[in-house]
Amino acid sequence: MQLSPDGEKTLDIFENFMKLASERICTIWKYPDLIYQWTKAYKKQLSCIDTYYDTILEKVARHIDIDKRINEVNEADNSTKKHNFIHCLSKYLRSQGPIPREDVLAHFCLIVFAGNESTAKTVSTAMLMLAMHPEIQERCYQEINTVCPGENQYISAGDAANLTYLEMVIKETLRLLPVVPVLGRTATSDVKLNDRHTIPANTGIVIGTFQIHRDPKIWGPNAERFDPDNFLPENVAKRHPYSFIPFSAGPRNCLGVRYAWYSMKILLAYIVRQYRLSTTLKLDQVKVAYGVLLALKDGYPVSLEKRK
């Protein structure tokens, strides 16, 4: 799928849909559904969704025989065999009652998008940060070679768990350039902040992840500098647990956070083990574009040189 024309189409659909969603977020008069449904943007958004469901998602559904999985009995549920996401999702939805096919596809679509777009942007940004800081890149390379030496050696989940410095690098990347720059929440009850301020129930709340992650009161006078040592255990222990929230936090945090960590660490390990990254861009030259996901205005200008 990735190498087919549909793969390119998927990327274009995601890009266009996110652009439309970001524009709506930044345009107050488009908030009411009654108004938005009369705009050209709404028609384009529906077109993106219809095209994705009718072409891309349907082909994937046929490939994995999603209808069979939705209707199959629980014969294998007590076995020790590991099941894929569709099987686990179908099993969960079955426990809630009848399963509309559209519900399974909607969940599947969310996982495909959320699990790929955000991870791809973070890996790209981390590569750029490593290219800007060759001494940090070299330290990552040495750690990767120690944990899983050999250019073609398989990198397991266990190996990824031992790449502690690489994880610190990814965390620092997500601190300075969080892929989700803002979070939205609704207060389910009155929230008392202090003696003077209370957030009333049913109030919409916007949490500025980007601003929190660069606050000098939390991260010190060098908050704008790229420094993986911010995530040394002794430094983490000094901060409030919610001072770093790239995947949100609490009961409404990202459901794919564990998968994200493993996939990002393993992918970066394979890249850094085989290639030396470089760039002419400096950190203070990076310009960001706000949206549902954070984007870099000038892209990710990284050169790769095969290691010898």
User: Which residues participate in the annotated binding site for heme?
Assistant: 254
Structure tokens at 166: 């690489």
Binding site, by residue number, is 254
Taking each helix axis as running N to C, give the angle between helix 101-132 and helix 5-25, from 0 to 180 degrees, rounded to the nearest 10.
90
Structure tokens at 83: 């099941």
List the beta bridge partners of residue 204: 186
d(CA 181, CA 204) in angstroms, rounded, equals 17
d(CA 123, CA 85) in angstroms, rounded, equals 23
Q: Over the range 174-195, which residues count as b (16 or more CB within 10 Å of their CB) and which as e?
A: bbbbbbbbbbeeeeeeeeeeee
